[in-house]
Structure formats: structure tokens, C-alpha cells
Amino acid sequence: MKWIIILLFLPIAIFLLPSTIVLAISLFPSLIVFLIDNTKRHYMTVTIFFFNLAGSAYFLQLLWKKGHHLSMIGETLSNQMGWLFSFSGTGLGWLIFIILPSIWGQVCKAQSSILTIRLKREQKKLIELWGPDIAKPER
């Protein structure tokens, strides 16, 4: 599957070589993250990459405005706003990746309490309807 994707995107990458080079350089933080990411399925890399990619759109917009030539790569990459957006995307992705588990944990805790109460209520109804023997385990 991996090789199919590579073979599919390689011609596009070659065709859009200047964009490819600019993206490759602006997505450098994602590469670092990929190297240090030990999560299953590289969720950290994916999160940071996509936000990084979104931030790198400024560079692409600059390059395409200036004519999409290899010679414009240097000028494009020297734009400070571009790097600001690129690193901001990276930072946002990293922030979301760090904060979300604790928010998620609180949500799960609340959900667990609500579910437990609901389940116990249903058990109580069953006992009222069928008697306490229903709670005795099958031998």
C-alpha cells in the first residue's frame, strides 16, 4: 500500500518539484516529530504534520504567486511570515496532542459515572420486577 501511494505521488512531486522542495523544508518539524514519535500508529506525527502542512500553505501561496520556479524557492523560504505560520501550525498540533487526553479523560469520567448510574438503575428495576434471586450468580 505504501509503495502504491509513493508511486502515485512521485510523478506529482516531480512535476511540482518547487512546491515539493518548499514543503519538504517547511515540514522539517514534522520530520523531527516522526523520528521521536513512539505512539502507536504515529498519531503525534499525523497531528503535527497536518497542522504543520496547514501552516506551510503560506509558503505554497508565496511560491505560486512568484511563478512556481526553482529559483523562487530561496526567496520563498526566506519569508519570515511563512515560518511563523509553519511553526505555529506545528505548535498548535503539538498543543492539541498534549491537552486533548486530559480533556478526554474528564469527559470519559463523566460518561462513566452517568453510565454506571443508568446501569444500576436498570438493575434495580430488574430486581423490583423479578426479585433478589435475579442477582444471584448461576451455579
Partner 1 sequence: MAAQPVLLNNTYRIQPDERLPLFDLPGIPAFAAYDLRDPAAAYFALILSPRDPIPSFSSEDAPVHILWPKASGIVLWPDIQHRGLREMPVLIYRRPNVQKVGSVSEPLSDIVLIRNVIQPVVAALQELSQLNLTHRAIRLDNIFQNSDGTILLGDCLTLPPGAHQPVIFETIENALTHPYGKGSGHITDDIYSLGVLAAIFALGKECTALSIPEENMALLKADRGSFRVITSGFRFSARLEEFFRGVLADRPPERWTLSILEKWLNNQGIPATLPNAPAKASRAIAFAGGEYYTRPSLAIAMNIHWQEASQLVMEEDFYHWVRRAFSEQKQSEQYERARVQANYHGAPQATGHRAASRLISLLYPTMPVSYKNWRIYPLGLASLLRYAAEKEDSQQDLKEFILSRLIHSAIDAIAAPSQALTVFRRQLEDMSSFLEREGPGLGLKRIVYELSPDMPCRSPMMGAKYVTSAAQLLPALEEGLSGNDNSVFLMDDYLACFLAVQMKSSAARDIPFLQGDWQRIEARLAILRIWGHVQRAYPAGHLPKVSQILLNMALKLVGEIIRNREMRAQTEEYLRRAAEQSDFSTMARLLDPSSQTCLADQHEYQRAKARYARLEWEVKWLEAGGLTNKNRVAAMAQRFAASLAILSSSAFLAFFFIWMMT
Q: Return residues touching partner 1 (CB under 8 A).
A: 39-41, 43-44, 46-51, 53-54, 57, 61, 64, 89, 93, 96-97, 100-101, 103-105, 108-109, 111-112, 115-116, 119-120, 122-123, 126-131, 133-135, 137-138
Nearer Cβ to partner 1 (21/54): 54
Tally helices (H) and strands (E) across the chain: 6, 0
CA pseudo-torsion sign 54, 58, 63, 65: positive
Nearer Cβ to partner 1 (55/73): 55
Instruction: Kindly state the smallest distance separating residue 16's Cβ from partner 1, in Å.
Output: 13
Nearer Cβ to partner 1 (9/104): 104
Nearer Cβ to partner 1 (39/69): 39
Instruction: Kindly state the smallest distance separating residue 55's Cβ from partner 1, in Å.
Output: 9
What are the distances in angstroms from CA 64 to CA 10, 67, 90, 98? 20, 5, 22, 34
The C-alpha cell at 81 is 511570515
Burial of 66 (0-12, 13-18, 19+ CB in 10 A): middle
Give the SS3 label for residue 67.
coil
Instruction: Kindly state the smallest distance separating residue 116's Cβ from partner 1, in Å.
Output: 5
Instruction: Kindly state the smallest distance separating residue 4's Cβ from partner 1, in Å.
Output: 20
